[in-house]
Structure 1
């Protein structure tokens, strides 16, 4: 997400409207700076002020969409991107921005269409074109078109073999294609090239977990937590590895930290339930399974929690 947001800000800067007055341009640049610092509400105040005097400026609506996307209000972000595209329908970057918004709310079909349109419209910037091809691969992956995603990531890497995001994505898609060792090689390359890239380190740790190389996985999650001490997902992943190693006491500590920092993570409650079952505490486990269901585990990850609930809790009368 950080990579996408950085690209969005760069593109907005490059294509700010030439018709702006000097004062408006100054305010627009100030809003961009605030967005880059994560000060979305302050930036939104400025953009709304600009829109009052110029409600036909596509770049203002585009930046407004970027702000709402940063605030995780995707429907309003998409509305603003729609308006920006209506006002500037030949601008590839605005399609790319809306594509990212669609991706954030798991609408891969719409995202795929927008990335494809953006790629068609780009005339003279190969670097951005191939970045968009890589991003389109993420939409294909979300749509479970793994072979299509692989081809997009490969195309992006053929253009730039040092593209960190494409390397990370290739590592993921090869796992989907049943080639986990090849995927790990791409992730290891990404970590060598960018030792502090949290997404690469986290993905590598996750892949090590899947092939049973638990100490390597723990080393990766330790590194993530050095870089990001309050990362609830990293605590959750490390806790699961410790559970697999039967280090239940330490696993429980990590999962409880994960829930503290990311209380909406349904997977953390699933993992804590597994630990409680292993500790012979089924009542606590069943409460966590119910919580995982409430937080939306099933539509995101499948029926595992529901099956555990039916097997260990409902059929046995444990609630």
Structure 2
């Protein structure tokens, strides 16, 4: 902004400020700056490309694609990838998938607020799409809004009752953040009833059972994980804790030593406390 007071009609400065506005989610202000940059330099292809991005985050795929195509015609090659990904769609389902795809990228980049914005656009197009609610659950979890995350996963399950991963994710929220261990255990049992090989669900159920002193089922789940993935140091560490609670010190120490050899430094503390002669 300070630079604009000195050179108020500088396209490069306007473009850069537009990018900064996108970072903060101020898409209308970003559109204004990109449009001003184009006004002062109608051949500024990158400003067309960036304005397309602001339109996309604002939910206007048609306007975004017009600008991506214009930027590509002007020689900005980066726009071609965006055209191929997002502009060859013609129905609401496909457009909703576009927003879902974008939201996943934002979640992977730890920008959950942006992801929620995109998913809300997807909901307007396809309000009964379970994938929208699944990724909303993930985004809200990143934002530490655990109640909203649970609600989103519940809506995903309502539209897709056989989504084992959604049950597992909701269980993690209920068990770790919402003080609902019984709800978490119920979700994990359902998830593993649908797909008995979900490692995350097996591990979380083992933890829940161990906390409730149901040690044999906990050992069974952890052993199943380790039969398939012997280098899962977290499962080795947890099985060691469970064996120790069962009074089986030798087995606990063996698991902790194996976990330590795989780089699990938490195991070292327990080895020093319980396994030294």
Residues 124 and 221 (structure 1), Cα distance of their counterparts in 2 relative to 1, 3 Å cut: same
Show structure 1 runs of 5+ residues with no match: 1-91, 93-112, 297-304
TM-score when normalising by structure 1: 0.52
1:271 is matched with 238
2:188 is matched with 221
Does the alignment pair 1:312 with 2:270? yes
TM-score when normalising by structure 2: 0.59
1:1-319 alignment, distance < 5 Å: 118-210=84-176, 211-279=178-246, 284-285=251-252, 287-289=254-256, 291-292=258-259, 305-306=264-265, 308-313=266-271, 318=276
Instruction: Note the aligned Cα RMSD (angstroms).
Output: 3.3
Q: Write the distance in 2 (CA, Å) between the matches of 1:164 and 1:260.
A: 33
Shift of 1:189: 1.4
Cα deviations by residue, 1:263-290 (Å, 9 ceiling, x for unpaired): 4544322432332344455664455455
Q: Write the distance in 2 (CA, Å) between the matches of 1:281 and 1:187.
A: 39
Shift of 1:234: 2.7
1:62 is matched with none
Q: Write the distance in 2 (CA, Å) between the matches of 1:194 and 1:281.
A: 42
Shift of 1:135: 2.4
Q: Write the distance in 1 (CA, Å) between the matches of 2:267 and 2:132.
A: 38
1:46 is matched with none
Aligned residues between the structures: 199
Cα deviations by residue, 1:246-272 (Å, 9 ceiling, x for unpaired): 323321222112322444544322432
Q: Write the distance in 2 (CA, Å) between the matches of 1:286 and 1:147.
A: 44
Q: Does the CA contact (< 8 Å) of 1:286 and 1:309 recur in 2?
A: no
Show structure 2 runs of 5+ residues with no match: 1-64, 66-78
Q: Does the CA contact (< 8 Å) of 2:243 and 2:251 recur in 1?
A: yes
Shift of 1:310: 4.0
Residues 287 and 207 (structure 1), Cα distance of their counterparts in 2 relative to 1, 3 Å cut: same
Q: Write the distance in 1 (CA, Å) between the matches of 2:248 and 2:239.
A: 11
Shift of 1:186: 1.1
Q: Write the distance in 2 (CA, Å) between the matches of 1:143 and 1:242.
A: 34
Shift of 1:214: 1.5
Cα deviations by residue, 1:131-154 (Å, 9 ceiling, x for unpaired): 132122222222222222232333
Cα deviations by residue, 1:44-89 (Å, 9 ceiling, x for unpaired): xxxxxxxxxxxxxxxxxxxxxxxxxxxxxxxxxxxxxxxxxxxxxx
Q: Write the distance in 1 (CA, Å) between the matches of 2:244 and 2:82.
A: 47
1:18 is matched with none
Q: Does the CA contact (< 8 Å) of 1:167 and 1:189 recur in 2?
A: yes
- Helix, strand or coil at the partner of 1:212: coil
